[in-house]
Structure 1
Amino acid sequence: MIPPSLRRMSLTNDVPYGILAIQKCARICCPRNRCQKVILYKISVLFLTYLSYTCYHMSRKPISVVKSVLNDNCTNGTSTHCGYAPFNTPDGPKLFGEMDSAFLFTYALAMFASGFIAERVSLRYYLCFGMILSGLFQYLFGLAKILNIHNMTYFLLIQIFGGIVQTTGWPGVVTLVGRWFGKSKRGLVFGIWNSHTSIGNILGTLIAAKYVESDWSLSFIVPAIIICIGGGIMFLFLAESPESVGLQLDRPYSYERINDSDVEDDRNRNESSESAQLLQQRPSISIIDALHIPGVIEFSFCLFFSKLVSYTFLYWLPLYIENSSTLGAEVSAILSTTFDVGGIIGAIAAGGISDKTGMPATVCMVMLLVASPVLLLYQAFGSASMEISIVLLILGGIMVNGPYALITTAVSAELGTHSTVEGNAKALATVTAIIDGTGSIGAAVGPLLAGVFCTGGWQQVFHMLIMALTCAMILLIRLVAKECINLRRNSRTRSE
């Protein structure tokens, strides 16, 4: 039994300084309104995790924007820059593919380990240091221009270590949101929350595009500074668990205040309930146990192919737009953000429809089915006019990123709290890491294949993407059939 004095000391040390300041303000503004205080913590967690992963994705985007500038070999007379060695050669696309793969394969492999680490450490520190280190490696990439570094090994090492530290983000933020929010309307909440991916891509693109033609090093340095600042904010204000701010676990993912007094007073007079302690003391599940959860394998490999398509657009769309049109690097980068705008709409729509129907696999299947002809139409007519390109890119973003967002958020959280793990909150990070780690391998394969196929024409790249979407749909057939059977059974039950 831990002495109360030691428990109070431990809990006080776990509370961020920003939260302590908020608590003092809450005592003045709403001293007796407990509900507002609980809502305040939930909103802060939702906002901070949103901010965190926005920064993570923002820092990944600059490389896709600067590719056209680095690869420019001054063959056209209007060029104001002559590329950057070793990328300003005909082998430039291949080198870009190697860099993308170095980052993404490392990210995918490290993700599995990251899920286990996230279960065992303070998520506040984990996300804080992960964001700061991510900023450091982005800064080092931009520093190459300032120091006139042209060694390919240097760039590969930056991408490898950058991929490792970026894995701190997803298991951390999904686990935090899963701890604080129940299952009611989870798809819609996660759908809105998951827009951080697209917002991060858009911000990263716009920031990088602002400097890409004048000084591409700033395309990396500015996002690096922003994500480091974000890491500091996480350290100061993130309430990583309900227990750390005086909330008690009554049942999995549902929290209530212990009593009427403020959080600091709660700690002086109350101990966690026996059931909450037992839940927290449960051991983390193994990968084998997690794979036995129904649906984990199917959704993991479906995400493999979904992220393959999404990340191919993430890393290659600005370059494709510039090569297939007369637009410059900056305008092409800005136009590519419309795909991410569609991603925001798709994530919210997929989450809301999944909540309404209770059929996430079917929602993913329908959206992936529509995505294939949309991509073919974009490849055929996307360069006809700016208006057609915008419409098709938005539609493509909706249909491609909708399933991707639904699987990585609401579906992962649902599987991580499945009845087979009996409310073990520590299972969530493991399941999330397995699903996103498998998907991230696809994210690594897509840009690598795009770098190989684009040398033979962009049409081959789009054919590869259509094949990936088809494979994703095939993997969902069993789950869709099961959902349809359950829907029919429930309909009969209601009619009787």
Structure 2
Amino acid sequence: MHQRKRVLVFLVTFFSYALFHASRKTLSGVKASLMADWTHNNSMNEPYVYEAFIPTVAEAETFLGLLDALFMAAYAVSLFYWGWLGDRLNPRNVIVFGMVGSATALVSFGSLPKWLHFYSAPYYLLTYIIFGLLQACGWPNEVAIMGNWFGGDNRGFVMGLWAACQPVGNIMGSLLIALVLPLGYEYTFAFNSSLMVLGALIVALTIEESPRRESYQQIDDNETPSEAVDMRTDGTPIGMLEALLLPNVIPYCLCNTCLKFVNYAFFFWLPFYLTGKYGWTERDANTLSIWYDIG
């Protein structure tokens, strides 16, 4: 039973975090369509009765870059908070809240302006910052749950396998965008938001934060109640400064930062540049871009 639970935890956390990545891939995959809508530079010659939100392509590209930068800034800052909160609350519930909140922010950013013909720079900036803040709850709390269930000598191997959820999520996001984009870019945001809500429901109903919590709810035949409670007793969570000063934390952070420079350049802009440079459709660009994540 315990082994089956571990497999379930692995799969649910794997695909729930893959959905986090798939949802943040949405803007990356529809930048050309979004920019065409903002500037009224539409290859389908769709009639517009509203003034262009952004007058030039260059300004639209700059605004998209600003959105990416603000998303990452909000994401980076809030990682500290969500990790701290997950240590003090049930990390599963934090993940569920973040997934539902991310879904709400994503559809508010990408779908509602198109449906309501409401284009506002402050609105776009605010909703995407909120999206970044909520997206950050996933990684520290998913890792915390995995750490609770998978300890011992094989943790490195298991976590190495589990970390593939990030490129898998990117692949899922790109393929879903290619599938839904013919309906309109706004539906890619709505579809990914719906998947996030579904994923949150699955997380809430299927997994526990740790095996210790299960042993408290269903005491084993060879275990006394006091022993079950003792298994759930953990040390006091350390503070942010203490965590930062742990051996090798800062060097690892700096190394990962350098890798992220390259990774997120491709993550945010590869489909857009393939469309602009080679004239490919966004569907083809998104489909081809998955090879970076496969590699």
Normalization by structure 2: what TM-score?
0.90
Q: 1:213 and 1:87, CA in 2 relative to 1: closer, same or farther beyond 3 A?
A: farther
Contact 2:219 2:225 in 1 (8 A): no
Q: 1:81 and 1:286, CA in 2 relative to 1: closer, same or farther beyond 3 A?
A: farther
Pairwise mapping of residues 298-309 of structure 1 onto structure 2 (< 5 A)? 298-309=251-262
- Which residue number corresponds to residue 127 of structure 1? 95
Residue type of the alignment partner of 2:186: S
- Which residue number corresponds to residue 311 of structure 1? 264
- Which residue number corresponds to residue 6 of structure 2? 42
Q: Write the distance in 1 (CA, Å) between the matches of 2:247 and 2:100.
A: 37
Q: Write the distance in 1 (CA, Å) between the matches of 2:104 and 2:211.
A: 31
1:60 aligned residue (21, 24, 27): 24
Q: 1:45 and 1:274, CA in 2 relative to 1: closer, same or farther beyond 3 A?
A: closer
Name the SS for the 1:246 alignment partner.
Answer: helix
1:80 aligned residue (36, 39, 44): 44
1:190 aligned residue (138, 159, 167): 159
Q: 1:124 and 1:277, CA in 2 relative to 1: closer, same or farther beyond 3 A?
A: closer
User: How far 1:74 sits from its partner (Å)?
Assistant: 6.8
User: How far 1:184 sits from its partner (Å)?
Assistant: 2.0
Normalization by structure 1: what TM-score?
0.55
Contact 2:212 2:231 in 1 (8 A): no
Residue type of the alignment partner of 2:131: G
Asked whether 1:338 is paired with 2:280, we answer no
List per-residue Cα deviations over 1:26-51 (Å, max 9, x = no partner).
xxxxxxxxxxx110111111111112
Asked whether 1:285 is paired with 2:230, we answer no
Pairwise mapping of residues 91-490 of structure 1 onto structure 2 (< 5 A)? 91-141=59-109, 142-246=111-215, 263=218, 269-272=224-227, 276=231, 280=234, 282-342=235-295
Q: Write the distance in 2 (CA, Å) between the matches of 1:137 and 1:48.
A: 23
Contact 1:86 1:150 in 2 (8 A): no
Q: Write the distance in 2 (CA, Å) between the matches of 1:87 and 1:233.
A: 43
List per-residue Cα deviations over 1:312-333 (Å, max 9, x = no partner).
1110000111222132211011
Q: Write the distance in 2 (CA, Å) between the matches of 1:105 and 1:87.
A: 27
Name the SS for the 1:272 alignment partner.
Answer: helix
Unaligned runs of 5+ in 1: 1-36, 248-261, 343-496
Residue type of the alignment partner of 2:44: T
Pairwise mapping of residues 9-28 of structure 1 onto structure 2 (< 5 A)? none
List per-residue Cα deviations over 1:175-212 (Å, max 9, x = no partner).
11111112423332222211111111111111122233
Q: 1:267 and 1:224, CA in 2 relative to 1: closer, same or farther beyond 3 A?
A: farther
Contact 1:176 1:240 in 2 (8 A): yes
Q: Write the distance in 2 (CA, Å) between the matches of 1:333 and 1:149.
A: 27
Name the SS for the 2:140 alignment partner.
Answer: helix
Name the SS for the 2:247 alignment partner.
Answer: coil
User: How far 1:266 sits from its partner (Å)?
Assistant: 5.1
Name the SS for the 2:278 alignment partner.
Answer: coil
Contact 1:213 1:329 in 2 (8 A): no
Asked which structure has the greater CA Rg, the reply is: 1
Name the SS for the 1:90 alignment partner.
Answer: helix
CA RMSD of aligned residues (A): 2.4
Contact 2:84 2:240 in 1 (8 A): no
Residue type of the alignment partner of 1:186: R
Q: Write the distance in 2 (CA, Å) between the matches of 1:275 and 1:325.
A: 62
Aligned residues: 288
Q: Write the distance in 1 (CA, Å) between the matches of 2:153 and 2:220.
A: 31
Q: 1:46 and 1:87, CA in 2 relative to 1: closer, same or farther beyond 3 A?
A: farther
Contact 1:114 1:168 in 2 (8 A): yes
Residue type of the alignment partner of 2:227: S
Contact 2:213 2:232 in 1 (8 A): no
Residue type of the alignment partner of 2:245: H
Q: 1:274 and 1:245, CA in 2 relative to 1: closer, same or farther beyond 3 A?
A: closer
Q: 1:87 and 1:122, CA in 2 relative to 1: closer, same or farther beyond 3 A?
A: farther
Q: 1:131 and 1:88, CA in 2 relative to 1: closer, same or farther beyond 3 A?
A: farther
User: How far 1:227 sits from its partner (Å)?
Assistant: 0.6
Q: Write the distance in 2 (CA, Å) between the matches of 1:203 and 1:167.
A: 19
Unaligned runs of 5+ in 2: none
Q: Write the distance in 2 (CA, Å) between the matches of 1:131 and 1:170.
A: 11
Higher relative contact order (CA 8 A, sep 6+): 2
Name the SS for the 1:217 alignment partner.
Answer: helix
List per-residue Cα deviations over 1:444-474 (Å, max 9, x = no partner).
xxxxxxxxxxxxxxxxxxxxxxxxxxxxxxx
User: How far 1:156 sits from its partner (Å)?
Assistant: 0.7
Name the SS for the 1:182 alignment partner.
Answer: coil
Q: 1:235 and 1:74, CA in 2 relative to 1: closer, same or farther beyond 3 A?
A: closer
